[in-house]
């Protein structure tokens, strides 16, 4: 299990990775007149980099939701409406 503070640090590192991946000097490396399977190399890089960031973000978000689910008190009601199911107002 990942601690909630560690997840925040990982999200910050992910943001910095995204800034680095889409920085103009790195994009300039892939901005050459080369094609891979008919797709310009720059477009391929952008698509793959974006996909990697989305997948990592999804895995961190899943870990974050699992961490909050585990930390929740199982005896506590999920919502005020759930606590009031016996009809008392």
Q: What is the pLDDT along the chain (89 residues), one digit of tens a residue?
A: 556 577 888 889 999 999 999 999 999 999 899 899 999 999 999 999 999 999 999 998 887 666 555 555 556 555 555 555 555 55
**HSE, side-chain direction, 13 A CA sphere, residue 8:** 4
Query: Closest Cα partner for 56 from 4, 89, 12, 1?
Result: 12
- In 39-74, which positions are buried (b, 16+ CB within 10 angstroms) versus exposed (e)? eeebeebeeebeeebeebeeebeebbeebeeeeeee
- Any idea where the domains of the chain sit in the sequence? 4-71
């Amino acid at each position: 299990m990942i601690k909630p503070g560690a997840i925040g640090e990982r999200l910050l590192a992910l943001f910095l990775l995204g800034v680095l991946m889409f920085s103009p000097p790195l994009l300039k490396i892939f901005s050459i007149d080369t094609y891979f399977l008919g797709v310009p190399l720059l477009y391929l890089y952008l698509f793959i980099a974006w996909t990697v960031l989305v997948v990592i973000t999804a895995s961190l978000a899943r870990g974050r939701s699992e961490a909050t689910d585990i930390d929740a008190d199982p005896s506590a009601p999920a919502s005020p409406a759930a606590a009031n199911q016996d009809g008392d107002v």
